Amino acid sequence: MIRSVLIELALFLTPFILYGVLLLATRGSLVPEHWSARTLALLSAAAIALMVVGLFVFEHGRSTEPGRRYIPAEMRDGQFVPGHFE
C-alpha cells in the first residue's frame, strides 16, 4: 500500500521537479514569477496524466488468471519454498 502511494506521489511530482531543474539550468533561480498560473495548470495536467497512466499500468500488470491465487513464499521444514500461483 505504501509503495503504491509513493509511486503515485513520485509520478505526480515529476513534472514539477523537471520544470524546476529546467529553470535552474536556464535561468539560475526558482523565482515565483516563473511559476505562472498557466504553467502550474499545464504541469498539474501532466502530473495527473502521469498518475492515471501509472495507476493503469501498475494495477493491470499485477493481474493473474481468473481462478488462480497467489501462495506467498514460506519456510517449510527448514527449506525455502518460493511463492507461486495455484
Which is higher by pLDDT, 3 or 11? 11
CA distance 70 to 39: 45
Give the CB-side neighbour count of residue 50, counting CA atoms within 13 A: 16
* Structural domain count of the chain: 1
pLDDT higher at 57 or 67: 57
> Could you read off the pLDDT of 46-65 as tens digits, one per residue?
999 999 998 888 776 665 56
Domain that holds residue 23: 2-85
Query: What is the per-residue pLDDT for 30?
Result: 84
**Torsion sign across C-alpha atoms 17, 23, 24, 29:** negative
Is residue 42 pLDDT above 90, yes or no? yes
The confidence score (pLDDT) of residue 4 equals 79
Give me the DSSP letters along 17-73. HHHHHHHHHHHS---GGGS-HHHHHHHHHHHHHHHHHHHHHHHHHT---TT--EE--
